[in-house]
Amino acid sequence: MTENLENLEKKIGIKFKNKNLLKEALIHRSYLNEHPEAKLPHNERLEFLGDAVLELIVTEYLYRNYNHPEGELTSWRASLVNTESLSEIAKKLNLYEFLYLSRGERLTSTQKAKKVILADALEAIIGAIYLDQGMTIVKNFIKKFILIKLKKIIKYKKYKDPKSTFQELSQAKFKITPSYKILKETGPAHNKTFLVGLFLNENLISQGRGKSKQEAEIRAAKNALKKYKKLILNL
């Protein structure tokens, strides 16, 4: 695994003084269930630290560089540090191949669970960099891999959640407020999947699936936004 750690160091452009900090950042709780003899703990404490470091650095950067209202800055920050965003960055780093996971976790994790694992591991790495290298280096890492996404987030208004964005567009274009209806529920009570439809008046615009009604509604709104040009032509 030493060789893998060196490969990861090359990817992130940082050579650790204490390799165990980097290794700890990659250890998922499930791995210790199969390997109780492991000498290092799982990465949750480093994740806790990294989450705080990330929020502070992003908040300071936004404060110093953008003279915008607090609510807007908060939305931008949320778009930069949410699970979806962090997991995308972790995927680009091929972080999953470096993680210490149990065999069961690696084989059975859902896509949603993998995103959470990847986002948590990235935060743990941020915590490890902070402890090993200090504030200047961890700031550079966050600027290089996370803050670089900010201009695109602002330009394309990705900081707005899909439901709010679609509602603004539909009200501006059609003077209609979208509504959401559950079309179907499947699965047992403890593990349901919802199919939700997004409607403008009686017109079904799109559908979305999710493990909660909210998740299904967000996916329906995302799907509606994807075909918004077609929607303008047809309504």
Active site includes 6?
A: no
Instruction: Give the whole-angstrom CA distance, residue 123 versus residue 90.
Output: 10
Task: Give the residue-averaged pLDDT of 56-73.
Answer: 94
Active site includes 51?
A: yes
Q: What is the pLDDT of residue 121?
A: 98
Percent of the chain with pLDDT over 70: 96
As beta bridge partners, residue 200 has 203
Q: Going from the N-terminus, what domains does the chain have, and what CATH number goes with each?
A: 2-155 (1.10.1520.10), 162-234 (3.30.160.20)
Half-sphere exposure of 225 (CA within 13 A, CB side): 19
pLDDT band at 115 (very low <50, low <70, confident <90, very high): very high
Instruction: Give the whole-angstrom CA distance, residue 204 versus residue 141.
Output: 44
Three-state secondary structure call for residue 110: coil
Q: What is the pLDDT of residue 235?
A: 47
Three-state secondary structure call for residue 223: helix
Catalytic residue among 47, 123, 132, 217: 123
How high is the mean pLDDT of the chain? 91
Catalytic residue among 51, 105, 120, 217: 51
